[in-house]
Amino acid sequence: MTERLQPGDPAPAFSLPDADGNEVSLADHKGRKVIVYFYPAALTPGCTKQACDFTDNLDLLAGAGYDVIGISPDQPEKLARFREKEHLKVTLLADPEKTVTESYGAYGEKKNYGKTYMGVIRSTIVVDEEGNVERALYNVRATGHVAKIIKDLGV
């Protein structure tokens, strides 16, 4: 299991394909704050709720200087279907090897219905303009999470 990030840590650099297969890297967002959130799977109820909440609040967040990037182990084709079906406006990136997910501490042991298994831990990392971790939130709930982030960030 990878170490969880702490405020002040440098955010691990990444470059991953988006839903259209274009490479997107954290460095592309230098000078802006970035909310990087990790979710288990596109087209599932909780992940859909979370992605729709981010989309619904994207203008508010962008106006406050935040870009939003969602990362999951899904392939770009599935992310494209997810984006089209739910009319998502957030940037969705594919991390099928889970290397970025692991580097952010968002992959590890989970428990569900009494079973323990390895998987994506629903997490949100806020990266500042300099590329350092401002906030690191792990095991977040899909419902109500975006509203809490907006409140906590004072947006």
Catalytic residues: 47
Find, among 69, 89, 56, the residue nearest to 11 by Cα: 69
Q: Would you state the structure tokens that stand for residue 70, as one six-digit string? A: 């969602």
Cβ neighbours of residue 15 under 8 Å, at least 6 residues apart?
23, 24, 25, 26, 27
3-class DSSP assignment, residue 44? coil
Give the CB-side neighbour count of residue 105, counting CA atoms within 13 A.
15
Burial of 9 (0-12, 13-18, 19+ CB in 10 A): middle
**CA dist., res. 40 & res. 38, Å (int):** 7
For 58, phi then psi, to 5°, come to -60, -45
